[in-house]
Amino acid sequence: MGKRKENSTNMLNENYIVESCNLTYAVCKIGGRWKLLILCKLENGKLRFSELRNQIVGITERMLTLQLRELEKEGLVKRTVYAEVPPRVDYELTDIAQELVPIWNQLSQWGAKHKELVVEKEVDKGF
């Protein structure tokens, strides 16, 4: 996927929205298919790359690498490289990311409740 032009109308609009709305800014940092799932897997402590990959069904090594780099750049994940042979790398949540744990737990509860309500409505309609 190529980079968008920095002066394109879509990019300028996105930048304005992200800069003017704190909620949008926050969602952009943890949004997407994989980021929140990666963060949740790190909730209980450090994991190695292979452990993360094995716990996240469907993610490719390349995508996991890209997402971890973005999360590290955003200050949400800390990467520690140990001077060992073979090299060992651990990933863990930063203090800033730890602040998100109760928020994503609440969001998860909301998701479970909403999903249940949607399923009930579909059953009532005969889908």
* pLDDT exceeds 90 at position 38: yes
Q: What order do you get walking across the sheet with 77-82 strand by strand?
A: 47-48, 88-93, 77-82
Nearest Cα neighbor of 118 from 107, 109, 127, 106 is 127
For residue 6, what pLDDT is reported?
61
- Which has the minimum average pLDDT: 17-21, 52-56, 80-84? 17-21
Domain interval for residue 98: 32-125
85-121 pLDDT per residue, tens: 988 999 999 999 999 999 999 999 999 998 888 777 7
13 and 48 co-located in one domain: no
Residues 5 and 54 in one domain: no
Whether residue 127 has pLDDT greater than 90:
no
Count of structural domains, the chain: 2
Residue 67 pLDDT level (bands cut at 50, 70, 90): very high
Q: Is residue 37 a contact partner of residue 5, using CB atoms and an 8 Å limit?
A: no
42 plus 23 within the same structural domain: no
pLDDT at position 1 is 43
Task: Find residue 52's DSSP bridge partners.
Answer: none
